[in-house]
């Protein structure tokens, strides 16, 4: 193993916090290892358009993973949901550490839950999936695109620019801001993004020593869950432009995958739930994807393309 192991990450507070969590676990497992964190700027950090209006994959990881491929860093730490399912063949997701909560949460300065917000309240989100679920629950509120890191979005609520915002619980918790959470949505009623709450550590596929080191902090339960969720995405071809919610829950050697897809106007919602063996997580994900497609999930994509054009006008 190298004397100093270089670790690539974005410079955001959340990315740094996730990297430190991973490194704390690695230092415990490998007391003699020395790490150097290298901050790398990505397109997603500088492009201020709403995420779902960008017709690109991997806007928060591409530059970081390029540094891994070139050998400029030994591995990279990401939010798993930022990694496209078609990761470069030169790279591998070598490790999924223990997963944090996959739930979405509501942040509101007045302590109001979603059903307590006044009609016409402005709620911010960066996600089409969250937007359509919000509008379905509260058709009388105004859901608008919001960008910026986690802290910036919370500040926009405090300043009154937004009445509330929906974020991932894991992100707020990791940067020490869980006290701003007003309401925690259940994963079955408000289905999160595939991979939400999970950290992925990426390295070169041929770097056997680094892979061996990283796998010492692998969490089998988290790996099974995200394997099912990502197999589902890959087959349905979801992504930011198509709001697909999916979350897998393991219990012993069994795993249950919940998936949800909405039409652009919110009038139609396809929901699928299926349980299988945790050892066959990928097979379960593909099976649920088949059920979604059979019920018309991909036909909803055209409606969403039109919806994105409308959101672009608002942004």
| Active site (catalytic) residues | 82
Report yes or no: 285 and 267 within 8 Å, Cβ to Cβ: no
Measure the CA–CA gap between 309 and 237, rounded to whole angstroms.
19
Residues 6+ apart with CB under 8 A from 139: 266
Q: How many contiguous H segments (helices) and E segments (strands) does the chain have?
A: 10, 13
Measure the CA–CA gap between 226 and 166, rounded to whole angstroms.
22
Phi, psi of 26, rounded to the nearest 5 degrees: -70, -40
Render 246-272 in DSSP notation, one character per residue.
EEEEEETTEEEEEEEEE-TTSS-EEEE
DSSP-derived secondary structure letter, 197: T
Phi, psi of 56, rounded to the nearest 5 degrees: -145, 155
Stated length of the chain:
315
Which of 205, 201, 134 is closest to 163 using CA atoms?
A: 134
């Amino acid at each position: 193993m190298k004397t100093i192991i270089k670790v690539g990450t974005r410079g955001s507070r959340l990315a740094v916090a996730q990297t430190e969590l991973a490194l704390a676990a690695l230092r415990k497992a490998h007391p003699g290892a020395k790490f150097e964190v290298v901050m790398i700027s990505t397109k997603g950090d500088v492009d201020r358009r709403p995420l779902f209006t960008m017709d690109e994959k991997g806007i928060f990881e591409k530059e970081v993973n390029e540094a891994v491929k070139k050998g400029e860093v030994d591995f990279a730490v990401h939010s798993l949901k930022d990694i496209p399912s078609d990761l470069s063949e030169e790279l591998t997701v070598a490790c999924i550490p223990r997963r944090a909560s996959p739930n979405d949460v509501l942040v509101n300065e007045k302590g109001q839950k979603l059903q307590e917000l006044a009609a016409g309240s402005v709620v911010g989100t960066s996600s089409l999936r969250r937007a359509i679920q919000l509008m379905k629950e509260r058709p009388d509120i105004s859901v608008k695109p919001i960008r910026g890191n986690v802290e910036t979005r919370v500040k926009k609520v405090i300043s009154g620019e937004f009445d509330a915002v929906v974020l991932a619980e894991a992100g707020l918790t990791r940067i020490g801001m869980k006290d701003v959470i007003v309401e925690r949505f259940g994963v079955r009623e408000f289905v999160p993004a595939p991979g939400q709450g999970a950290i992925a550590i990426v390295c070169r596929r041929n770097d056997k020593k680094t892979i061996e080191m990283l796998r010492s902090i692998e969490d089998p339960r988290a790996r099974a869950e995200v394997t099912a969720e990502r197999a589902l995405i890959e087959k349905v071809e979801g992504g930011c432009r198509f709001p697909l919610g999916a979350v897998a829950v393991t219990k012993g050697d069994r795993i249950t995958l919940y998936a949800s897809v909405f039409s652009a106007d919110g009038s139609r919602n396809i929901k699928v739930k299926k349980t299988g063996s945790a050892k066959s997580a990928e097979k379960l994900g593909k099976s649920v994807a088949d059920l979604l497609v059979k019920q018309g999930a991909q036909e909803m994509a055209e409606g969403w393309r039109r919806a994105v054009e409308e959101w672009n006008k608002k942004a």
